[in-house]
Every structure is written in structure tokens, then in C-alpha cells.
A and B are shown apart, each in its own frame.
Chain A
């Protein structure tokens, strides 16, 4: 294989993993926009989506077409319950308390998954076979196309949702200014609830589509969540389009680093980018400085 083909191969795998980071980042953004906090259990939604799909398909024998959507839906329900039982009852909590609660939730999801499914890593079959497609000398797994397609679909659906539906518009209003949204009669509490459900749903979808190419186990959430957060910051906290672009960039850099430098350090790439962005351009690649000052959590 010559260098050109090799680079193409890295590019393809970078886009694949970058799509997943983008979806995790979008999940962060949705909850951030509605509540102003960072949900440290976001990565665990991805883990839960993957685990549930494995359970429904491999153990209960549901066909993949049903198991996938069902897993994402159950994850969404878990997200809704999480908001109802852990966030909703709080009166005037401090941000530190909220952060610690998302940590506690993350530990609970992880511990619960280990309790139910043990420490083994599981895999799902690919959606449409494992026969690689030749592409200018490089090979693409069909699942790669599914992942990329899912990202495009999720992003487009969100754009439509936020632009054309009343609930979507209300959620967007909360993101701009919660106080003002409340004054014009938007039920902010309900929007917060929706945002947890939607965010968990997207996390669940990401978990379902990635499990055929990357194993899922109870402890996969933390690193995915962290990289997803790096992506969200890189793209500008709360910025959906930014998340997609940032996800692809981080995915590509990680794939090139793994292929050309050392695979041991590949996980550090996204984290180093996270630190660099926090230090030099905390508003993200698309953010303006004034905008950043408003975006604290």
C-alpha cells in the first residue's frame, strides 16, 4: 500500500470515529443549551445505547432493525428518568452540586451496566454485512457509511426540529435566555426534561451505530464522553454545526496520529486539543470572544 492509499484509509477511519464524537458533542450541546450545565454522564448514554442494543439483539433475539431503535428509545427514557429523579427535585442547587450529580449518575450507569452485563466487551453484527467496499485502493466497511449517514440524518433532523417545530423553537429560546423564555410563557422545566431525553436519545443512537465496529463494555463511556466534550468545546459550546466540523477534525487528527505517530498516544490527541482550545480559544473555532464570556457553566 502506498502512502496515498494509506492516508485515504486513515481519513476514512478518522471520519468514522469523528462522526461518533460529533454525536456525543451534540448531546452535550443540547443539555448545555437548555440548562447551562455539562452532563458528565453523556458518554454513558452512548455506552447504554450499545449495551441495550447488544442485549436486545444477541440475548433476546430481536432483529437488528427493531433492537437498534428500541435501544436508543430506552436510553432516551433513562435520560428522562435521570432528569426527573436527579435534577428536577433540586431547589436552587449550586453548579458544583449539579456537576457532582452528573458524576454520580455516570457512576450509577457504569455500575448498573457492570451489575447487569458484567465486565465483558460485546459486539453487534454490522447492519449490512462486513463485505468491504473498495474505494481508490482503500477499503470501507459498510458500517462506516451507516455511521456517517446517521450523523448526517441526526444533524438534519435536529436542524428541522429546532427551526420548524414549536417544541424545537421553544428549546432554542431557552438556550438564548432561560429567564426571557419563561416570561413569554415557555415551560422551561419541560424543555429541560425534553433536552435530557433528546440528548440521551442521540447518545443512544451513537452507541447503537458504533458498536458493530468498536466493542462496547460498561466502562466505555468516560473516555468517549471526555472526547465528545473536547469536540463540543472545540466547535463552540452549544454550537451544533461547530460540533460536527470539530468532530470530523478531531477524528481525522486522531486517525493520522494513530497511523503516522503512535497508536498508544492516539487517545491523547483529542484531550490535548481540548486543553489547547481551553487555553487559547475557549469560544471554539467558530466562537467569538464576547460570546464566550456569556457561556459559562
Chain B
């Protein structure tokens, strides 16, 4: 700690310890449905304590313009973004916040480098030993990858970045070269450049190459793999904070950072399992590369039956049990309120309505749950894949809403399929399946979906929201 201000360091350390404890309790509560809101409040209390404690230390010798200016600016921007975001824009926002965390770690580390250079210039002995220099390098590396990776994810999620290459950036070869360069620069900055005037060169260089590496790593990754990428970047933002903790010898940063790192890794693991793919496969192999994918254009389908809203409503007339399967298409069409409306109308007719949520439906972990919660769907009606998969057999109608690969029977039935083994929702076992979708175009995996030509499948072509509106009107008229 650089400055010992108003108060004694034991007090500060005690406050930090208290804050770390509160974080641990907060994150524990965050992982349960009933306790989560309290957990979030608890964690923000921990943060407040940590900030106040730090102000007590730095309070005497501080540039208040920098401190207050930064806090005011950050609070205004953060609060505006958080209050104004639409629930459908949540994946982008989470990606953006991840990036901000990473960026802060880079800046703190580079500020330490600047401080050390000034000391050297003034003739004082460099206080930067290898222990700190290695931590600075780690902080810069992880933070910069998190920053640029998150911004690319942000761009992809909001539809601003569509390509899987930016010039040569995004190719495996260049990524490998940049990764090696990062390690070389980190070793140089961490062990050899310490105490010399070139320390800034090493860490600045590292920051730039790591930023490019972050872009290169995330650019090739496609939309449906985003849940994995976002969870992983979440984990990185924690690890970056952790590295910054080693730079400043601050145990609170280490504790909080590693908690986040662990939770992000667990989510990543859950997402990978839901797709039956390994993390390396998600990160380094594009789906088409496996061979198997056979295009899946409209011409490949032979016996597709389609139904309009009236026909669909007639079938729903006699249905007593319905399962709705939402996917990314629901998010795109912002159809969650219409879904809820349809469910309410059906329930009024004595029909039971449930929702089957595939863990990787959408673009981030839990994406569908957030949207349906926004539309006031009680979460008791949402069921996980394992819990509901056996129930399709006894269900009258399954309504697939903008989901594709996660309901592809090939995953369960065709061992040669590229997605063989991926857990899917067995919608085809229902009496009748409605697939509400714009066209027969393939999903992310780029493969044909046999569901579309099953006996009991009705394709309902159209925009999810528009079709539901008409369907609701028809059902009301019954």
C-alpha cells in the first residue's frame, strides 16, 4: 500500500476482510433462485465497504478530480445502461460490463508501470520486483484479452459484427503467433525488463498484442456458441481482478477475483456439457470443419406440412397439455410477451402450459429464463431439459419457437450426425409439433433438421411475434 492515510492499516485490513466475507456469502446466495436478490444486495454492500475503506486510506493524498470524476462518470454511465437496457439486449450488456472489468485491470497495471518509471527517473530505486512485474504482466494480458474479446462479443451479439475474420485476424495461425508473442513479452516484462527503462515498452507491447489476441480468439466464434464465450470471459474478468490483487498485494482483490473466476468456469462447464462439446472444440473448431454438415437448404426437405394460424388454433382447441420450447428466434422477435399471452389464453381454456428450456437456448446462459421472467411467466412453469424430456410423449402439442438445433432428432437418433450426443429436447414425441420459424433454413450447426418433415410436425412459417398474434386471435374466437 502506497499511502497510509487517516487510519491505521489494521482497521483497513479488517474492513477488507469483512468485505471478502460478505462477497463469499453474497455469491453463495446468488446461486439460489430464492436467495439471489438478497445475495446481490449483500455483494453490493461488500463492495461499498471495500470502497469506503479504500477512501480512508487514499483520502489524504489523493487527486480528488481523478477520484470523484471517475466515480461520478462511471456511476452515471453504468446506471443509465443498467436502467435503460431492454431485456433482449442483456447478453450484449453483460459482455460490455465484462470488458469494462478487464479494461480496469489493464489500466491499474499500466499505472503501476508509469509509477515505477517515474521513480527510476527521479533516481530512486525501482520498487518493481519480479513478483509485481509478473503480476502486472498477468493483469495486462488477461485484462486486455477480456476487454477486446468482450467488445467483439458485444459486437456479435448486437449484430454489428457479422464476419468471422477481420483481415488476417481470426485465423488460427495468427492467433498462435500472437499467443507466443504475448508469453514472450510477459516473460520479458516480468523477469528481464524490471528495474530498467524499457519496462514500459514490454508491458505496453503486451497490452497491444493481447488486445489483438482477444479479437482474434472471439471473432471466429459463432452466435450459438456465445453462451460459452460469455461465461468464459466472465471468468477471465475475475482472474484479471485477481492478478491485479497480486500487483497491489491486496488480498480482497484476490478473493473476490477468484470467486468470480470460479463461478465463470462453472458456468462455462455447464454450457459445454449442454452442447456435448469440449471447451477446446468450442474455442478452436468451427462447426463446419467437422465434415458432416450437409448444408440443409429448403430443397432438401421433401414432405413438409405447413399450417396457418387457423389450423393451428383448431389443433390447440382440443389440446389439454402444451409445452412451449423457446429459442433465440423468440428473443430476436421479442415475442416473449406474446408467448405469455398465448399461455394465458390456453390456460383459461383448461389447458396446462409448461416451458422446456434448453440450457444453451439463446445467446447467454439463462437467456430464455430472463426473457420469460420479464413477461411474468412464473418460473415454476419453466422446466430443465432432464426434467421435462420424458413428458413430451404424453403432451398434446409442443410449440417450438425459433429454436432449431436444440430440437433436432438427429442428435439422439443418428450417430453419424455432427451433433450426435448433444442433449436435445424430444419434442417430436409429442402428439403434434408446431415449429414457428421464418423458413426452413438450418440452425447454427448448419445441418438439416429432420423434425421439419416428421408426420406430426406442422411448420408455421412467419415471424414469431406476428404468427403468435394471429394464433392468439384465432384461439380466442374458438
The yes or no verdict on A and B being binding partners is no
User: Which residues of B approach A to under 8 Å, CB–CB?
Assistant: none
User: Which residues of A approach B to under 8 Å, CB–CB?
Assistant: none
